[in-house]
Chains A and B, each alone.
Chain A
Amino acid sequence: MSKLKNAKLILENGKEFVGKSFGFPGSVAGEVVFNTAMTGYPESLTDPSYKGQILVSTYPLIGNYGVPKTEFENNMPKFFESDRIQIAGLVISDYSFVYSHWNAEKSLADWLVENKVPAIFDVDTRALTKILRESGCMLGKIVIDDEDVAWYDPNKENLVDLVSTKEKVVYGNGSNRIMLVDCGVKNNIIRCLLKHDTTVIRVPWNYDFTKDEYDGLFISNGPGDPSMCKETVAHLKTAIEGDKPIFGICLGSQLLGLASGATTYKLKYGHRSHNQPAREVGTNRCFITSQNHGFAVDHSKLTGDWEPYFINLNDDTCEGIKHKVKPIFATQFHPEACGGPTDTEFLFEKFIKLVEENKK
């Protein structure tokens, strides 16, 4: 215990939380957000949508089952959502120095150090969460041993460009060709698509796919403000004029919303959890969904051919949009889960069905 370095989380509003360091011993700045999930830290930490963010886990006991092996499948790490830790820093209450799991290879602390990601424990994460809930997400920094760093606002940067693939990558060899626009895609989205008869063509966020051959278009999740992705929106505007099926998730849904003529806005503190309730509009069907987003489509501003697909039962925010006639839909939540509930994975099946019908 005594060997641990002292660490502090300093918020933009001046509030400080003192704890101990258990990750990389260097200070870092970013935007502080909280997640209420109770499992899935390896998945969350590698989710590109967290780029630039200091993640607070409201669940206090973290590190219990270590970090899984780095095994590859389809050229992707089998147990992670991308090939590195994406968060800027981690804030928790109780770190489990000893882990226990058949599939674990190393401790969370070792993994954080390897990836040069600082982390702090022994923080009253509930008190911290209440501040973020009341004042909204704010900038913050983890300061190790009083080595200060400058504030950093990730929202001013094109984060998508930082996490998107730099080149075209092809996965699988199925009969349905899916063009996947990578704004920071989670691996499990690719895995879910590959469970069906598909070839997935992963392209950079600003790649002009409008001239390419494909059967279905997929717009991925990703970090930050959708208004940063002007090129993607421009390409989408062209795509929605056509008649190919389109499916968007999270940031993908917001980009589709922008392309349709709607607007997006920043939520006070976003939705980052595994327990968000979404209701399919016009039905009695409800789903528990996994989410990680700070921005949302303003569904009151949807234009003519577009309508809300899902809404959040807690705060009535937009959980998805769809085209009234064309095979185009998108969800704000994550049907691919990982981490989180798998209740809406059927949407991938729906998408592939639309693709197959559209080909006929």
Chain B
Amino acid sequence: MNEIKKVIVLGSGALKIGEAGEFDYSGSQALKALREEGIETILINPNIATVQTSEGIADRIYFLPVTPEFVERVIQKEKPQGILLAFGGQTALNCGTALYDSGVFEKYGVKVLGTPVQAIKDTEDRDLFIQKLNEINVKTARSEAVNSVEEAVKAVERLGFPVIVRAAYALGGLGSGFCSNIEELKKLCETAFAYSSQVLVEESLKGWKEVEYEVVRDKYDNCITVCNMENFDPLGIHTGESIVVAPSQTLSNAEYHKLRELAIRIVRHIGIVGECNVQYALDPNSEDYRVIEVNARLSRSSALASKATGYPLAFVAAKLGLGYGLFELKNSVTKTTSAFFEPALDYIVCKIPRWDLGKFNGVSKEIGSSMKSVGEIMAIGRNFEEVIQKGLRMIGQGMHGFVANHDISFEDLDKELQKPTDMRIFAINIALEKGYSVDKIHDLTKIDKWFLEKLKNIANIQQQLSGYSNLESMPEDLLREAKVRGFSDFQIARLVLNSADKNIEDNIDAVRQYRKAKGIVPVVKQIDTLAAEYPAQTNYLYMTYSGNENDISFNSNKKSVIVLGSGAYRIGSSVEFDWCGVNALNTIKKEGFHSVMINYNPETVSTDYDSCDRLYFDELTLERVLDICDLEAPHGVVVSTGGQIPNNLAMRLYNQKVNVLGTSPINIDRAEDRHKFSEMCDQLGIDQPRWRELTSMDDIYQFVDEVGFPVLIRPSYVLSGAAMNVVSNKEEMEHFLTLATKVSKQHPVVVTQFIEQAKEIEIDAVAQNGEVLSYAISEHVEFAGVHSGDATMTFPPQKLYFETIRRIKKISRAIAKGLEISGPFNMQFLAKDNDIKVIECNLRASRSFPFVSKVLKKNFIAQATQVMLGVPVEKFDKSIFDLDYIGIKAPQFSFARLAKADPILGVDMSSTGEVGCIGDSYYEAILKSMLSVGYKIPKKNIFLSTGPAKSKVVLLEPCRLLVQKGYKLFGTKGTVEFLNSNGVEATALHWPDEDLKPNVMDYIREKQLDLVINVPKDHSKSELDNDYSIRRGAIDFNIPLLTNARLATAFITAFCNISIDELEIKSWNEY
């Protein structure tokens, strides 16, 4: 332990499907553990929105790509004695394995702490893994590793269909799936080989139970299993796509402990030091089992297990990596008992994934062996009905629980049950309503009958509730039972009072008042790791109706301030709001208040019980927030640091007399309500793109005649696909309005004039009583039309007129005054020449708050929180003009995960994460950030299809530069003609649908291209099949793809002017 003075920790980079916020939590815990030991910590992670890349967590932070080249250069510079590879997901593990193989660790004398690299390899390489497990008589799924499609076909001859195919060394089941015939097999193998040279063909265990164990081992060979988890969905659905409960519910003692014993045997034999996850398939009709996989690192499941049990796995794993024994560490919840123990839960948790498949065009909604979900939630309670209902509300997709939801129907219910999509759980509800028996549903879904019976129990209560038409006639026992089984006041209002949507608010309140009068209120229980066996001063809490007393008392003499968290990660709201929440909590504590967090996302740092004085791991519904306010009697509630979920509660909390801190909810409403906001803008003389809310096709035609195409259409009712769309002509508009949406009096459509070739500019700011205290203006690289979450952002802005900046400041001040803003806010503008139009105004922290705060090195959230608390505010002493460097925020896309989705950018957001990198020049920052999100500098061949004339012109000079640099250009016919006629050499390839060679699809399949640039012709999503095939091909064969001419220009200019070696290895504090 003594020789380790400095340690590098590798982060996981941008959030992507399969690798999300859980690694911010793991990494933060590891860094905390190292710091506690007095070890100097160096973090490499380009994800600027994370909590781990904040001040005071690591000693030095490098916002650089987690790739072997960059990590080696950091090692060279920092000369650490140790490195941790297990806390940054598969990205860190793969990078670490590569560095080990190339001898870099040996060269610089860097010790890999924790699990040795060889052990990691034993778990990652399928053949080695099976061999290792055979040595200790542990069964694995029969499987063969193959290196070609032909070999795969031969393997299936031995294994028999159905089989599962998966790419080796791939995160979250990338390029994997089930096949039940030769055609499916061949097709899947082709994709899988694009990701890996080795592909595994395995016997299918579809329908078996899936069970996981989280195991910890120290260097003395002491082992514990911290938690086991059981998937509600049987094997065949990736564990990241499954509803999961902890602890297991349907396993007998013999099964539980058989699998536990095996897990320990495996972990000992492989030689894990730290944390490890073992996944099993368990026969539902015997004790037969197979080991599916072992993850020799912290994982999504380990983050979930930590939150489910209160056992800080990552923290302990880091300590074990330093050489501690488990018995030498304390249980961080009880503080008195040992860390060598296995948590006993006296509650059940349920994890439910959150999908955002509706955001993508063309994507298949079926869920299976490859991960598609973008986030998850965890519900805690004391029975299954309670947690599943809580959980289904938490995922935030408009559902109110398992029952009492509107507008769910399935074309083919049996198929939905058999071939699940993201809606399967609701299909079970419909099936129960239609009178399907549990046996029949079990036959179709293979979900264990225990779970189905519990769901049926919910449906039974629903029926009983529907039998009453007023609260007074309903037996009190039934009301209590409904609350115990997770029914919300909303569900009860809808079922008993038959509430119409327009008076639902009043009815919910009536239910609340009625049950409170009857003394039917939830109680607060602690999570203490030992099921109350030992006293624990834990602040980790949840609420339930299964109980009659609170575990804690509410007489703190400190004023408590409640921060509402951001809920499930989703496209458009993820780790950046966790950072905002955590920073709000820090300031609240610093200012002497009692900090309280409400959130339910197990991937976050804000749900770490160390982050606040009290953590309610519970719902962010009005009902639950009011329950907590009733108990806490808080000084106030912060709604502006958790994104849109808490923001939407502002007015409703205000109506219930809760003290909402910061900007008045009345004014939040004035900003949120399109009509009120426009009215104010008009009064203040602030320009907006013209828009109108319309209820008939005739009105729409008339408006479009006034403003001209293109227009942006926002329907209030969506049938399928994306919610927003830009249409360029009448035909597209009709297509969209008739196929994808409804237009009627009940479902108006907002049509907005769409301004092309305009710059998009954002301001993130803090105001106090209407006065702007500080602000950060940034500009998008792309022209308006790309959602701000998908745009590449430059801060400070490099290419804006002074006049533009001046006008934006002026408008922002006027709006801050007009809305009497106190707290954080964000506005978005369009600028064409010096003509400025406001397109968006949010009276809350935005996605870019961590980015601008970290680049400016001034914490906007801390300042905003001081404003909201009404304490003296620290003024910033610098502005954007004082910065000698540039920050670039770049989006991370996960299209590779989303089979068939069209990888184009539009007005609806589709990125899953982001990075932020700093450079001494614009191009340095561009290059670092784009390399961080997975772009590679092309070696030789580049394919271009440059779309409309304007972008052809934009890309002409970059293409000339590429040719000068010796790149070979290929393109579609039109693009090549244009380039050639302008003296740029390029070779034409035939379109995908032309049966002619050389064809672009062959070049993609054979991976002869290093970069594909495909600019869509217009903003519509009904793109030509050809362009789609090229884009999708690039994604499926893992070739970097750019679809925006301005971004492509920036990237090309950057790598043609600076080489990778010239990129400065500078830590955050060196700027």
Which B residues lie within 8 Å of A130 (CB)?
532, 551
Interface contacts beyond A102-B286, A124-B549, A286-B220: sample of 15 additional A-B pairs, CB < 8 Å, sorted by A: A1-B481, A40-B256, A64-B450, A101-B252, A102-B284, A122-B546, A126-B531, A133-B533, A273-B531, A284-B325, A288-B341, A314-B336, A314-B341, A338-B253, A341-B257
- Which residue of A39, A61, A93, A122 is within 8 Å of B256 (Cβ)? A39
Q: Are A277 and B338 in contact (CB under 8 A)?
A: yes
Binary contact readout A29-72 vs B (1 if CB under 8 angstroms, 0 otherwise)? 00000101111101100000000000000111100110010000
Q: Which residues of chain B from 323 to 362 have a CB within 8 Å of any chain A CB? A: 325-327, 336-338, 340-348
A139 within 8 A of partner (CB): no
Provide the bound-state CA to CA distance between A342 and B342, in Å. 13
Binary contact readout A63-83 vs B (1 if CB under 8 angstroms, 0 otherwise)? 011001000000000010000
Q: Quote the shortest CB–CB distance from A206 to chain B (angstroms).
A: 32
Q: Quote the shortest CB–CB distance from B839 to chain A (angstroms).
A: 51
Which A residues lie within 8 Å of B251 (CB)?
39, 65
Which B residues lie within 8 Å of A59 (CB)?
247, 344-346, 531
Which A residues lie within 8 Å of B974 (CB)?
none
Max chain B C-beta neighbours (<10 A), residue from A37, A58, A124, A286: A286
Q: Are A284 and B327 in contact (CB under 8 A)?
A: yes
The size of the chain A interface, using a CB distance under 8 A, is: 54
B670 within 8 A of partner (CB): no
B43 within 8 A of partner (CB): no
- Which residue of A94, A133, A275, A284 is within 8 Å of B342 (Cβ)? A275
6 A-B pairs with the lowest CB-CB distances in the bound complex, closest first: A40-B253, A100-B450, A313-B338, A36-B344, A339-B253, A58-B531
Which A residues lie within 8 Å of B345 (CB)?
38, 59
Q: Are A58 and B383 in contact (CB under 8 A)?
A: no
Task: Give 26 CB contacts A-B under 8 Å.
Answer: A39-B256, A42-B253, A59-B531, A60-B348, A61-B348, A64-B250, A93-B383, A94-B383, A94-B546, A96-B450, A96-B453, A96-B454, A100-B250, A100-B450, A101-B252, A274-B344, A275-B530, A277-B340, A279-B340, A284-B220, A284-B327, A286-B222, A286-B326, A286-B340, A288-B341, A313-B337
A127 within 8 A of partner (CB): yes
Q: Which residues of chain A from 302 to 345 have a CB within 8 Å of any chain B CB? A: 313-315, 337-343
Which B residues lie within 8 Å of A341 (CB)?
257, 260-261, 342
Q: Quote the shortest CB–CB distance from B348 to chain A (angstroms).
A: 6
Q: Which residues of chain B from 217 to 253 have a CB within 8 Å of any chain A CB? A: 220-224, 247-253
Question: Nearest B residue to A337 by beta-carbon distance?
Answer: B257
Q: Are B327 and A124 in contact (CB under 8 A)?
A: no
A220 within 8 A of partner (CB): no
B534 within 8 A of partner (CB): yes
Provide the bound-state CA to CA distance between A124 and B342, in Å. 23
Q: Are A126 and B348 in contact (CB under 8 A)?
A: no
Question: Nearest A residue to B256 by beta-carbon distance?
Answer: A39
User: Given contacts A40-B253, A277-B341, is CB(A60)–CB(B450) below 8 Å?
Assistant: no
Which A residues lie within 8 Å of B285 (CB)?
102
B448 within 8 A of partner (CB): yes
Q: Quote the shortest CB–CB distance from B518 to chain A (angstroms).
A: 16
Which B residues lie within 8 Å of A276 (CB)?
341
Q: Which residues of chain A from 71 to 111 have a CB within 8 Å of any chain B CB? A: 79, 93-94, 96, 98-103
Q: Are B252 and A58 in contact (CB under 8 A)?
A: no
A interface residues, Cβ below 8 angstroms from B: 1, 34, 36-40, 42-43, 58-61, 64-65, 68, 79, 93-94, 96, 98-103, 122, 124-127, 129-130, 133, 273-277, 279, 284-286, 288, 313-315, 337-343
The size of the chain B interface, using a CB distance under 8 A, is: 59
B577 within 8 A of partner (CB): no
Provide the bound-state CA to CA distance between A60 and B326, in Å. 29
Which A residues lie within 8 Å of B336 (CB)?
314
Which B residues lie within 8 Å of A129 (CB)?
346, 531-533
Q: Quote the shortest CB–CB distance from A99 to chain B (angstroms).
A: 7
B535 within 8 A of partner (CB): yes
Q: Quote the shortest CB–CB distance from A68 to chain B (angstroms).
A: 7
Q: Quote the shortest CB–CB distance from A319 to chain B (angstroms).
A: 13
Max chain B C-beta neighbours (<10 A), residue from A40, A124, A340: A124
Which A residues lie within 8 Å of B533 (CB)?
34, 36, 58, 129, 133, 273
Q: Are B342 and A39 in contact (CB under 8 A)?
A: no
Q: Are B344 and A60 in contact (CB under 8 A)?
A: no
Q: Quote the shortest CB–CB distance from B254 to chain A (angstroms).
A: 8
Provide the bound-state CA to CA distance between A100 and B448, in Å. 7
Question: Nearest A residue to B286 by beta-carbon distance?
Answer: A102
Q: Quote the shortest CB–CB distance from A174 to chain B (angstroms).
A: 24
B449 within 8 A of partner (CB): yes
Which B residues lie within 8 Å of A94 (CB)?
382-383, 546
Q: Are B257 and A313 in contact (CB under 8 A)?
A: no
Which B residues lie within 8 Å of A124 (CB)?
523, 546-549
User: Given contacts A36-B346, A38-B344, is CB(A101)–CB(B261) below 8 Å?
Assistant: no
Which B residues lie within 8 Å of A337 (CB)?
257
Q: Which residues of chain B from 526 to 572 have a CB within 8 Å of any chain A CB? A: 530-535, 546-549, 551
Q: Are A275 and B343 in contact (CB under 8 A)?
A: yes
Which B residues lie within 8 Å of A314 (CB)?
336-338, 341, 534
Q: Quote the shortest CB–CB distance from B962 to chain A (angstroms).
A: 62
User: Given contacts A58-B531, A93-B382, A102-B286, is CB(A127)–CB(B337) below 8 Å?
Assistant: no
User: Given contacts A38-B247, A314-B341, is CB(A342)–CB(B261) below 8 Å?
Assistant: yes
Which B residues lie within 8 Å of A342 (CB)?
257, 260-261
Provide the bound-state CA to CA distance between A202 and B251, in Å. 32
Q: Are B249 and A64 in contact (CB under 8 A)?
A: yes
Binary contact readout B183-227 vs A (1 if CB under 8 angstroms, 0 otherwise)? 000000000000000000000000000000000000011111000
Q: Quote the shortest CB–CB distance from A113 to chain B (angstroms).
A: 20
Provide the bound-state CA to CA distance between A186 and B264, in Å. 25
User: Given contacts A133-B533, A273-B533, A288-B224, is CB(A68)–CB(B344) below 8 Å?
Assistant: no
Which B residues lie within 8 Å of A274 (CB)?
342, 344
User: Given contacts A126-B547, A273-B344, A337-B257, is CB(A313)–CB(B532) below 8 Å?
Assistant: no
Q: Quote the shortest CB–CB distance from A7 to chain B (angstroms).
A: 15
Q: Are A339 and B344 in contact (CB under 8 A)?
A: no
Binary contact readout B1033-1057 vs A (1 if CB under 8 angstroms, 0 otherwise)? 0000000000000000000000000
Q: Which residues of chain B from 240 to 291 have a CB within 8 Å of any chain A CB? A: 247-254, 256-257, 260-261, 264, 284-286
Which B residues lie within 8 Å of A37 (CB)?
344
Provide the bound-state CA to CA distance between A341 and B263, in Å. 12
Which B residues lie within 8 Å of A42 (CB)?
252-253
B169 within 8 A of partner (CB): no
Question: Nearest A residue to B546 by beta-carbon distance?
Answer: A93
Question: Nearest B residue to A43 by beta-carbon distance?
Answer: B253
Q: Are B547 and A340 in contact (CB under 8 A)?
A: no
Q: Quote the shortest CB–CB distance from A97 to chain B (angstroms).
A: 8
Which B residues lie within 8 Å of A58 (CB)?
344, 346, 531-533
Provide the bound-state CA to CA distance between A60 and B385, in Å. 13
Q: Quote the shortest CB–CB distance from A202 to chain B (angstroms).
A: 23
Provide the bound-state CA to CA distance between A79 and B253, in Å. 10
Q: Which residues of chain B from 436 to 462 have a CB within 8 Å of any chain A CB? A: 448-450, 453-454
Q: Are B252 and A103 in contact (CB under 8 A)?
A: yes
Which B residues lie within 8 Å of A286 (CB)?
220, 222, 325-327, 340
Provide the bound-state CA to CA distance between A126 and B264, in Å. 30
Question: Nearest A residue to B386 by beta-carbon distance?
Answer: A94
Q: Quote the shortest CB–CB distance from A254 to chain B (angstroms).
A: 21
Q: Quote the shortest CB–CB distance from B535 to chain A (angstroms).
A: 7
User: Given contacts A273-B533, A286-B326, A337-B257, is CB(A127)–CB(B547) below 8 Å?
Assistant: yes
- Which residue of B223, B250, B253, B531 is within 8 Å of A36 (Cβ)? B531
Question: Nearest A residue to B532 by beta-carbon distance?
Answer: A129
Question: Nearest A residue to B348 by beta-carbon distance?
Answer: A61
Provide the bound-state CA to CA distance between A275 and B346, in Å. 13
User: Given contacts A1-B481, A284-B325, is CB(A125)–CB(B252) below 8 Å?
Assistant: no
Q: Are A65 and B532 in contact (CB under 8 A)?
A: no
Q: Quote the shortest CB–CB distance from A195 to chain B (angstroms).
A: 14
Q: Are B252 and A126 in contact (CB under 8 A)?
A: no
